[in-house]
Structure 1
Amino acid sequence: MDMAVVELSRLQFALTAMYHFLFVPLTLGLSFLLVIMESIYVMTGKEIWRTITRFWGKLFGINFVLGVATGITMEFEFGTNWAYYSHYVGDIFGAPLAIEGLMAFFLEATFVGLMFFGWDRLSKVAHLGVTFCVALGSNLSALWILIANGWMQNPTGSAFNPETMRMEVTDFYSVLFNPVAQAKFVHTVSAGYVCASLFVLGVSALYLLRGKWTNVARRSMMVAAAFGLASSLSVVVLGDESGYALTDNQKMKLAAIEGMWHTEEAPAGLAIFGIPDRDLQETLYEIKIPYVLGLISTRSLTGEVMGINDLVLKADERIRSGLVAYDAVEKLKADRTDASAREDFEIHKRDLGYAMLLKRYVADPRQATNEQILMAAKDTIPNVPVMFWLFRMMAGLGFFFIAFFALAFYCASVCQFNKRWFLKVAVAIMPLPWIAIEGGWVLAEIGRQPWAVEGVLPTFLGASSLSLSQIWTTIIGFTLLYGTLAFIEIRLMIATIRKGPVEHHAPPADGGMQQSNAGFAPLPAE
């Protein structure tokens, strides 16, 4: 396989996935914020909460449409750019995606129309139920997609079948309740709730700074502050759970995140600063908090966290074990009744994927030299500096969000969001959740390299046999199309925000106290 084709295919999928993920978090978070806001309307009967719900619902709808449109492209890419991946693991990976389409997507697609056009046709309680079904469908979509992605990180409940030469499901329950998938799901949706909360806070702060729709803005900010504080705390707590999951399933990713080249005496410390050097195989100027990494990753003071160099030696052992399995598979292809080959395969089948790493250097892995085996073992090391700094950026933003939402919650109860400096900060930090979320996705996917499926299928073997010109053509085409869609979406969002929560035949949302365009009442000084 031409590695240039592989890298371009990875780039194309990364671009489309990261673009799609600009819309997903906001959809996940706004859906449940709408449920909360409409619940308040149903319980209190105050029309202002209906106005608030419908306004944020419009922004949700614009974002929802773009999320659906960009997500469809990604599913086609598995067949066009990753054909062997689809053939080799499609029986497992395809099942959650099919369920997502049949159950979750049709659920939200069915009810989203009722949510937008059923305000005057359904009772208050019935319409709230519809809004809840839209939110449930959106989050179920994320669940099934992350079950598929979690299986790529931890391929449980499956096994290679030498009869079909493919991976097959052996225990769908284990695929469904994969601990990595569950940790990724709750962590990801919580991040989406944070994103939506900051979006609502930022837009509402803009209204308050301009003196427009102040009653709508303050009420929206109170809901977003409470929801955001709970969600930001969840992100950090559930991120800790993700770290614990890495200890059993992706030890190399954990070591790379910490820039830990050598195994430390238990319990390992957590590096808060350092400069990883791949040539020296050291992390320079390291500042550590004692014991913390050991506690997070092993939940004990005695558990060991292996370093990168020891994990390379472990990979070397698994490659050699995998060569036995690979040889057994080749013998079984020639004679399905070979009992000795079947026995060897059953003993070493767990390491078959490691032998396939050698295909980057030699057509027949059984002909590999010791030097090639060592090179393949070193290929299991991801980009350590990128991993190290992405994690610290993401974790730092996570703690910043907790502090900001705590401040927002305080402002809601003490100063009613009258501090201009706070409002300006709320507007300025609106992009930060997307930066953290995209960084988290890159961290998860780069950290899995060189695997398309951890320990099962190397990435370079999963790509389709395409030409460079074909991939460049689609990258350019997608970039132009998605750039146009992004321009349209931003224009629609800005136009909706500028128009504000205006409804036909509805009283002013400020209860008759909306300021004229001639001059808005300024907020009090600090």
Structure 2
Amino acid sequence: MDVEILARIQFAFTISFHYIYPPLSIGLGLLMVIMEGLYLKTGNKEYETLARFWTKIFALTFGIGVATGIVMEFEFGTNWATYSRYVGDIFGSALAAEGIFAFALESGFLGVLLFGWNRVSPTVHFISTIGVFLGSMFSAIWITVANSWQQTPAGYQIVGEGMEVRAEIVDFWAMVFNPSSVDRLTHVWIGAFLAGAFLVLSVHAYYLLRGRYVELSKKAFKIALAVATIFSLSQLFTGHRSAEYVAEYQPAKLAAMEGHFAASAPADLYLFGWVDKNQQKTSGIAIPGGLGFLLEQDFSAPVTGLNAFAEEDRPGQVNAVFQFYHLMVAIGMALIGLTLLACFFWWRGVLFQQRWLLHIFAWAVILPQLANQFGWFTAEMGRQPWVVYGLLRTSDALSSVVTANQVLFSLIGFTIIYALLLVLFLYLLNKKIKHGPYDESDTPDRPLQEDMARVAGGEI
């Protein structure tokens, strides 16, 4: 197999696996801040119990996330040496900023968060929880800035010649606030909040269905549902803003996302469909002229299509970009519908009597994760054939000495190691969930209390 394809597969695999964990850390961080804040405000020990429980799961996701993220930095040097030389000044500055402003903050407060419950005051511990949460948020800032610069380069100049050519920062803040960074960052943050909220919803839906920790789980479920509802609706606005920047700065990507081929013509907005690249035809259910209306509020507005670009400047996998994008949108709409339905039952006071809905929430944990992955695939595959849009092609960014066999061997090795890490993560997560939020010494009569509550309430 071609070395470029193998190198791309390897990086896609490692970053996709890694990207399971940072969104969970960010989302759980927000929930932990809310739970511990409610404990400080109300004095209710159940909120403290929830904060302690989810802190343990946060630590697990944080540890696996760090371990899986390190590999990608080595891949820049082994497989993508030309890319590293070309963007090292820019990408390196963003990674350095992450280490200084994000990772140091997060890891510095993490020790107090994990081991300071009975050693520092509740206020100091709460500040530490906020510090860890902000550290995870800052980490997302700098990684997103680095990737967004590749999508919409700004604040740079090209220096050197031949093999020594490289991009150099001339305006740091223009690089940071490049045209796509803010919109993409808010989109990433909200996706992370949804990942964390739906994990909490899933676990406590499971407890409610099993009749365990009933009153505790009701509190946690309501907190997570409020977060999930707010941010699932917010994702509509950030998604629309992201589509607008793509239309302005990466029109070839937008054309691939909607399977639009005509160089300049009104474009349909597809609900779902299939793209035949060879026939330059997209079939499916669509709103005629809907893409023009979405962008210009005019159904007859022309939209730039793939035929406006040379063949070598278009995304290679048009149907894949189309499908990943529409799957992301479909999941986003499903999350909105699911959370609003749950809020309706909550308003009616019968939320926890809907066992069928709790079953859905128990399994819906996978949906935000899939949406995050599909969105990432859309952004990266839609950017092709460029690794830095309009400046450096992916085919030119490879290391000149790496061979296909070397990449294949390391890919197989990473696959085995990452599979073992995934099994370990799921085993430890399952163990913590089955153990439950309470220590044995905390709840000598907890099962009896819960059974009495279930009989009295009759809702589970």
Instruction: Check whether TM > 0.5.
Output: yes
Q: Which residue of 2 aligns with 1:84?
A: 82
Cα contact 1:253–1:382 (8 A) shared by 2? no
Say how many residue pairs are matched: 456
Listed as ranges, the gaps of 5+ residues in structure 1 are 313-376
CA apart distance, 1:178? 1.4
The amino acid across from 1:213 in the alignment is: Y
CA distance in 2, matches of 1:225, 1:126: 28
Q: Which residue of 1 aligns with 2:413?
A: 477
CA distance in 1, matches of 2:456, 2:393: 60
CA apart distance, 1:138? 0.4
Q: Which residue of 1 aligns with 2:318?
A: 384
Give identity over the alignment, percent.
38
Cα contact 1:215–1:510 (8 A) shared by 2? no
CA-to-aligned-CA distance 1:380-422 (integer Å, 9 cap, x gap): 2331111111111110110110111112223334114122111
The within-5 A match list for 1:419-438 is 419-438=354-373
Q: Which residue of 2 aligns with 1:188?
A: 188
Q: Which residue of 1 aligns with 2:382?
A: 447
CA apart distance, 1:305? 1.7
The within-5 A match list for 1:116-155 is 116-155=114-153
The amino acid across from 1:378 in the alignment is: E
Q: Which residue of 1 aligns with 2:330?
A: 396
CA apart distance, 1:139? 0.9
Q: Which residue of 2 aligns with 1:101?
A: 99
Question: Greater Rg, structure 1 or structure 2?
Answer: 1
Listed as ranges, the gaps of 5+ residues in structure 2 are none
CA-to-aligned-CA distance 1:260-315 (integer Å, 9 cap, x gap): 1004545x44122332211111213x433244322433466786421111233xxx
Cα contact 2:187–2:235 (8 A) shared by 1? yes
Cα contact 1:213–1:509 (8 A) shared by 2? no
Range with greater deviation from structure 2 (37-46 or 470-479): 470-479
CA distance in 2, matches of 1:300, 1:161: 43
CA-to-aligned-CA distance 1:314-357 (integer Å, 9 cap, x gap): xxxxxxxxxxxxxxxxxxxxxxxxxxxxxxxxxxxxxxxxxxxx
CA-to-aligned-CA distance 1:221-245 (integer Å, 9 cap, x gap): 0000000001111222101000000
CA-to-aligned-CA distance 1:471-501 (integer Å, 9 cap, x gap): 1221122112111111111111000000001
Q: Which residue of 1 aligns with 2:282?
A: 283
The within-5 A match list for 1:409-428 is 409-413=343-347, 414-428=349-363
Q: Which residue of 2 aligns with 1:272?
A: 271
CA distance in 1, matches of 2:190, 2:258: 24
CA apart distance, 1:210? 0.7
CA apart distance, 1:450? 0.7
The amino acid across from 1:490 in the alignment is: L
CA distance in 1, matches of 2:447, 2:275: 58
CA distance in 1, matches of 2:202, 2:416: 29
Cα contact 2:315–2:381 (8 A) shared by 1? no
Query: What is the aligned-residue RMSD (CA, Å)?
Result: 2.3
Cα contact 2:315–2:383 (8 A) shared by 1? no
The within-5 A match list for 1:108-257 is 108-162=106-160, 165-257=165-257
Cα contact 1:257–1:387 (8 A) shared by 2? yes
Instruction: Pick closer, same or farther for the CA change 1:177–1:511 going to 2, 3 Å.
Output: farther
Cα contact 1:9–1:81 (8 A) shared by 2? yes
Residue 371 of structure 2 aligns to a residue in which SS? helix
Instruction: Pick closer, same or farther for the CA change 1:248–1:502 going to 2, 3 Å.
Output: same
The within-5 A match list for 1:26-37 is 26-37=24-35
Structure 1: which 4+ aligned runs deviate by more than 4 Å? 298-303, 507-512, 519-526
Cα contact 2:155–2:172 (8 A) shared by 1? yes
CA-to-aligned-CA distance 1:149-200 (integer Å, 9 cap, x gap): 0011111111211465211112211111113121111101101111111111
Cα contact 1:111–1:134 (8 A) shared by 2? yes
CA distance in 1, matches of 2:3, 2:32: 44
CA distance in 1, matches of 2:336, 2:256: 26
Residue 279 of structure 1 aligns to a residue in which SS? coil
CA-to-aligned-CA distance 1:119-143 (integer Å, 9 cap, x gap): 1122222211110110000011011
CA distance in 2, matches of 1:472, 1:282: 35
